[in-house]
């Protein structure tokens, strides 16, 4: 993140694809969504300007990227936390 920030453009961290495991479920990609929150917080603390996350009301039934997608009901609290971290880092 620090290197990319040096180019003078906003840096957006791709949280959900960072935990994707291509071919991890045999015939499709798997993922470890339990790490999306941790990696997102770390990225914002390290200076990321934004976070990309795939969300779904029911990730386990999603046709694509379900294993690395966040459930919709978890997103609001994570976004509030990321906003707080962003404010602390920028203060």
- Strands 20-21 and 12-14: what pairing? unpaired
pLDDT of 27 higher than 80: no
State the average pLDDT over residues 34-63: 96
State the average pLDDT over residues 13-39: 89
Q: Mind listing the pLDDT tens digit for each residue in 49-74?
A: 999 999 999 999 998 899 999 999 99
Instruction: Please choose, from the candidates 16, 13, 39, 38, the residue with its C-alpha nearest in 3D space to the C-alpha of residue 29.
Output: 16
- Determine the Cα–Cα distance for residues 68 and 53; give it in Å rounded to an integer: 9
Q: What local confidence, expressed as pLDDT, does residue 63 receive?
A: 87
The owner of tokens 């990227």 is 65
Query: Domain boundaries in the chain?
Result: 2-90
For 91, residues 6+ apart whose C-beta sits below 8 A from its C-beta are none
State the average pLDDT over residues 18-32: 84
| pTM beyond cutoff 0.85 | yes
């Amino acid at each position: 993140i620090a290197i990319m920030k040096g180019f003078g453009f906003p840096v957006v961290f791709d949280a959900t694809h960072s935990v994707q495991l291509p071919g991890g479920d045999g015939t499709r990609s798997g993922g470890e969504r339990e790490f999306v929150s941790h990696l997102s917080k770390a990225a914002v603390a390290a200076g990321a300007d934004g976070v990309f996350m795939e969300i779904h009301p029911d990730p386990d039934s999603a046709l694509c990227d379900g294993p690395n997608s966040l459930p919709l009901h978890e997103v609001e609290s994570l976004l509030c936390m990321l906003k707080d971290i962003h404010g602390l880092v920028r203060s």
